[in-house]
Chains A and B, each alone.
Chain A
Amino acid sequence: MTRLAASLPDALRKLHPRHQLHNPVMFVVWLGSLLATGYAVADPGVFPILVTAWLWLTVLFANLAEAVAEGRGRARAESLRRTRKDTMARRLAADGTETLVPGAELRVGDRVVVEAGQVIPGDGDVVEGVAAVDESAITGESAPVVRESGGDLSSVTGGTTVLSDRIVVRISTAPGESFVDRMIALVEGASRQRTPNEIALTILLSTLTVIFLLAVLALRPMAAYSGAAQPVVVLVALLVCLIPTTISALLSAIGIAGMDRLVRRNVLAGSGRAVEAAGDVSTLLLDKTGTITFGNRRATELIPVDGTPLPVLTEAARLASLADGTPEGRSVLELCGGPVEPAEPHEFVPFTARTRMSGIDLGDRRIRKGAASGFPVTAETRLVVDEISAAGGTPLVVAENDTVLGVIRLSDVVKPAMRERFAELRRMGIRTVMVTGDNPLTAKAIAAESGVDDYLAEATPEDKLTLIRSEQEGGRLVAMTGDGTNDAPALARSDVGVAMNSGTAAAKEAGNMVDLDSDPTKLIEIVEIGKQLLITRGALTTFSIANDLAKYFAILPAMFAGILPQLDRLNVMNLATPRSAILSAVIFNALVIVALVPLALRGVRYRPASASALLRRNLLVYGLGGVATPFAGIWLIDLLVRLIPGIG
């Protein structure tokens, strides 16, 4: 409610005809209100004045819906913009001298020095050095990330802070043109271009408006012929009630809110078009690591060798991993019953690159864990180690005093519930393809375990590009995530390319979305947001058109029952008087816009299901609901309106 009040000034500003022209349907309402005002002034009365007032309110409510959506977007933009505060940049000349310039004056290709404690002045790539960077201003994630020159971790975002060391950054985007800047403009609604689908829908809605305009225009002489000439105010009221005002009033709010939902999930989209395309995606390319499996391998099995009993191996593996802070080490502890420090005196042996093992010394027991190459292995151990490698896993050998006790199998672990997720996608008609650098055997095993539809093993960037091309030639829309520079061509080629924020600037430029959390699973959510956007439009269109039936039943008998008494039988809502009937319909038409603002902003609930099931459900809710609601609504409003003197 407070948000509505806060948006009121904006809504009033939007009454300007220049703004109204953007929306043909609401422009007709605007013109109609103007016309009605003229007639109400010329021939004042309770009825014409009230109808005219509610016609203007219809326009105002539409403006309000848009203003509220923009207001929310603006709040989001404000928080994004805070990262854009002006910083001074230390620009590096070719001869190595530094000049201090405002960040806004940087050009693409400039090289700037950033040291610990300083803010990176613009988007770019690290070309020299390595540093820990605090990116919480953009991502909200407080843990610092490492950025270094070369490789796929070279990209930095303007507004983030260097915590350690010194890096040289080559600026890759001119100030004001970065992804964040574009996104700010999009969520504010300022540079929001209408998407192809929105334009097509506007054409359909305009067509309906023209049809109703003709129907009402032709009704004037027909009414006159029948001996029941209608006042202009009444004809305008009928027209406004019939044209699809509900969806037209909420159309831009739906679009802005869709972008907003994306930003709230920390995804920046370069255009609304990309969000819409996401709803159409029929093939998802998913990186194995981090998306389908956990980023790190986990211990999944202990295999004793040379007659060692399993409990002995388990205990040894646990002890050897106590000092191992890596995710792999922690997973061994999880498998072996948790970290319990031994009571006797002990000394941890940390991992070194030279020995390639870690462990613990308990008196004269030297328990070690490490790569097989560091231990004297028996034939049986060698067999087990080879088998694990062949299956795509990583073997870790556990030994006590140079006697190998057994092998720990580290393997990819598919994230929980992925199988259900993929089944869900399949029901939505989306094919999932796992992309991995693993050998085909491993890839097949993981594909089978995760329930993914297909896989691309030993994938090179070229393979990815070829796959995307062949899918697109079959008419499919492809979505993918990527972070490396060598992903850039594939990202650019795919219909929805989501670049990880941790990735290179090249990848971010090539894709049409950036995920600030660098979470590859988010692709699935993006698809759902795209679908939700379209469904919300469709649902409100259906609702809007279905409403017309009741309005005919309210207004037509009111217009003509005087001269053709038999038409009063159509007054099924038992509305009190012709005036109360017409006024109630106009009021309902205006109020329904306000009532549906929350739905437009939130979006229609989307549950993955087959197309038929979705259509059946939405037709039932918004089609039948759209037919029934106004009968109840107009009847209720009439109960109040009939109390107004001069109306009832």
Chain B
Amino acid sequence: MTGLLQVGLLVVALAAAYKPLGDHMASVYTSTGHWRVERAIYRVVRVDPGSEQRWTTYAAGVLGFSFAGIVLLYLIQRVQPLLPFGFGRGAVEPGIAFNTAISFVTNTNWQSYVPEAVMGHSVQMLGLTTQNFVSAAVGMSVAVALVRGFARTGGDRLGNFWVDLTRGVIRILLPIAAVSAVVLIAGGVVQSLAAGVDVTNPDGSSSTIPLAPAASQEAIKELGTNGGGIFNANSAHPFENPNAFTNLVELFLLLVIPVSLTRTFGVLVGDRRQGRVLLGVMTAIFAAVLTVTWLAEANAGGTAATAAGAAMEGKEQRFGIAGSALFSIATTGTSTGAVNSMHDSFSGLGGGAQLLNMMFGEVAPGGVGSGLYGMLVLAVVAMFVSGLLVGRTPEYLGKKLGRREVTCAAVAILAMPTVLLLGTGIALTMPAELDRALNNSGPHGLSEVLYAYTSASNNNGSAFAGLTVTSPWFQSSLGLCMLLGRLVPILAVLCLAGSLVAQPKVPRTAGTLPTTGPLFASMLGGTVVLVAALTFIPALALGPIAEALA
């Protein structure tokens, strides 16, 4: 009952934010004026905010910015001893620094380290939090560039990456993050620059409980669908997520931009129904996956679960089944690496649902920006097949889907399964690595390896746990999965945008397939499910399906 209440409150809050935030973001990416602080930034980085870019220049901007971010973040971690608030935590070891740099720049926030033992406040705030903002803004920029490809006619300009990036941070992410940080502090989230508090334990021994500027990072961690915890236990830690109220706020924050971006999309293409239908598909998938997980957890068998009255292993009492299931599906559906429970401890079916939710390509509703462009790419494929079925050269939103469009969409879709399956496959051929890394054998062990590569390749960042990933093989292969899983689709999406923007718009006639009704929605939903299912059924069969049927 309280579970349904949480879902209800979440839906109401998101519905209330949908229109104002969606419209606000649309005006952010279309307005011609510049704020004074933005002008100052453009002057410093020598960007002419009035000039627009071709897709190649836009893509070069994204790539250059990302690689520069990786190098910078790596260096910040390596020079930690020179920075204040390090508390003697030393230079971050190269393997971790490499993996973490890629992880935060690619909006993954996969963490192969224990934050409170490895990262000081300076690295957290200067390095990781900065990337939490800009990596999210990069995702939104790419999504907006693609939307412009659909909305604009003729010409070859997609906007200016530096302007989109700056506005995304200054006009969208910073204001919301600032307000929500205060809300989270009010809700009980810790915000402190101290190393920790010394306490005397009941048995007389003393220990230090680490503190951190958690609330400020927590806000953008969720808002930017990043998910990197400032504490190892992430949102299960009482300093990051102390109660049901903060849990709900965090859920709202991580869903609000991906959800509202569909409205932005609708406004920008001049037909709000186009955005609503995407949201409908996202919601349907979300609801289906959530229902499966919830039911699986509520009805899980086994002696421990029976004794506890529910499958509470790895879950926090203060969140319960519903709060944990909801959080796990919201995060795996949005490329947020946050967890408020141990995904490893979910039932076979529940864990499988989380895996599948990521394998959909994280489009329900997806990461900030990446969810929208991921869904649009799938819509291109769905409309290509639909167009053939009605006997016309396929088109979507008035743009023809020819050779180049299909190629770009294909590359964007191929990248994730390629690195995911290759990574998992190769890892499983290395018994020495598995011996060291795996704590479980059998189907569950397979699920753990599969989850790690799924999370990395989809830039989710959450961990199934149960797998030790600090060896050079895992650090480097997962790092590569994150990098390719992020940048290859982005390049393909921008190429697609470049091809679309040059096209004239085909007028709508009675022969045009409408893309606003339930028929299109089912076609799109079917494509999402079918592509993922056909690709991953064998892997899922040997892992979670075998677990669930056992």
Contact = CB atoms under 8 A, between A and B. Distances in A.
Interface string B419-455: 0011011101100001000000011011000000000
Interface string A160-196: 0000000000000000000000000000000000001
Given A217-B425, A219-B538, A428-B510, A564 B388 contact: no
B390 A535 contact: yes
B47 interface: no
B510 A426 contact: yes
Interface string B506-550: 110111111001010001001000110111111101100110011
Interface in A613-629: 614-616, 618-619, 622-623
Contacts of B398: 475
B393 A276 contact: yes
Given A204-B410, A428-B510, A222 B446 contact: yes
Contact of A539 (B389, B417, B504, B550): B389
Interface string A575-618: 00000000000000000000000000000001000111011101
B425 A566 contact: no
B46 interface: no
A450 B107 CA distance: 62
Interface residues of B, number: 64
A556 B403 CA distance: 34
B506 A429 contact: no
Contacts of B410: 203-204, 206-207
A201 B422 CA distance: 26
Interface string A224-244: 111000000000001000100
Which residue of B384, B388, B509 has the most chain A CB atoms within 10 A of its CB atom?
B388
B305 interface: no
Contact of B536 (A215, A538, A541): A215
B406 A560 contact: no
A426 B519 CA distance: 21
Nearest to B536: A215
Nearest to B410: A207
Contact of B550 (A203, A538, A566, A610): A566
**Most chain A beta-carbon neighbours within 10 Å: one of B392, B414, B443, B541:** B392
Chain B interface SS verdict (over half): helix
B401 interface: yes
A563 B546 CA distance: 10
A333 B269 CA distance: 62
Most A CB within 10 A of own CB, among B389, B401, B402, B545:
B389
Interface in A420-454: 426-431
Contact of B385 (A225, A533, A542, A564): A542
A259 to B, nearest CB: 16
A210 B415 CA distance: 11
| Residue of A217, A541, A564 most packed against chain B (CB within 10 A) | A564
B384 to A, nearest CB: 7
Contacts of A564: 443, 542, 546, 550
A534 B510 CA distance: 18
A197 interface: yes
B391 interface: yes
A199 B384 CA distance: 12
Nearest to A564: B546
Nearest to B549: A566
A157 interface: no
A104 to B, nearest CB: 38
Given A215-B539, A564-B546, A569-B549, A200 B406 contact: yes
A545 B418 contact: no
A219 B510 contact: no
Contacts of B391: 279, 530-535, 538, 606, 614
Given A222-B428, A475-B504, A541-B388, A196 B403 contact: yes
B336 to A, nearest CB: 26
B24 interface: no
Contacts of B402: 196-197, 200
Given A214-B422, A429-B509, A612 B549 contact: no
Interface centre among A212, A429, A533, A606 (most CB of B within 10 A): A429
Contact of A222 (B413, B424, B510): B424
B407 to A, nearest CB: 5
Interface residues of A, number: 76
Given A200-B401, A214-B417, A548 B542 contact: no
B511 A222 contact: no
B381 interface: yes
A218 B390 CA distance: 36
A475 B421 contact: no
Contacts of B405: 200
Interface string A463-493: 0000000000111100000000000000000
B86 interface: no
B385 A214 contact: no
Contact of A614 (B390, B406, B542): B390
Contacts of A366: none
A220 interface: yes
A556 B422 contact: no
A62 to B, nearest CB: 20
A282 B541 contact: no
A530 B391 CA distance: 7
> Most chain-A CB neighbours within 10 Å: which of B401, B539, B546?
B546
B6 interface: no
Q: Which of A200, A570, A616 has the most CB of B within 10 A?
A: A200
Contacts of B426: 221
Highest count of chain B CB atoms <10 Å: which of A223, A282, A530, A545 = A282
B507 A282 contact: yes
Nearest to A280: B393
B386 interface: yes
A204 B542 CA distance: 28
Contact of A211 (B534, B539, B541): B534
A207 B530 CA distance: 14
Contacts of A201: 384, 388, 406
A614 B509 contact: no
A567 interface: yes
Contacts of B39: none
B387 interface: yes
A560 B510 contact: no
A146 interface: no
A615 B539 contact: no
A537 interface: yes
Contact of B428 (A212, A221, A430): A221
A527 to B, nearest CB: 9
Contacts of A215: 417, 421, 534-536, 538-539
A552 interface: yes
A615 B541 contact: no
B171 interface: no
B386 A615 contact: yes
B269 to A, nearest CB: 16
Contacts of B509: 282, 429-431
A216 interface: yes
A33 to B, nearest CB: 21
Contacts of B443: 226, 564
B276 interface: no
The 8 closest A-B pairs by CB, nearest first: A429-B511, A538-B388, A531-B391, A429-B509, A218-B425, A566-B549, A207-B410, A218-B421
Given A538-B389, A567-B545, A612-B513, 19 more contacts: A201-B406, A208-B534, A211-B417, A218-B538, A219-B539, A225-B446, A430-B509, A430-B511, A431-B509, A475-B506, A476-B507, A535-B389, A541-B385, A549-B534, A564-B443, A564-B542, A570-B545, A570-B549, A611-B514
Interface of A: 196-197, 199-201, 203-204, 206-208, 210-212, 214-226, 238, 242, 276-277, 279-280, 282, 426-431, 473-476, 530-535, 537-539, 541-542, 545, 548-549, 552, 556, 560, 564, 566-567, 569-570, 606, 610-612, 614-616, 618-619, 622-623
8 contacts: A196-B403, A197-B393, A215-B539, A217-B422, A223-B542, A225-B542, A531-B390, A552-B537
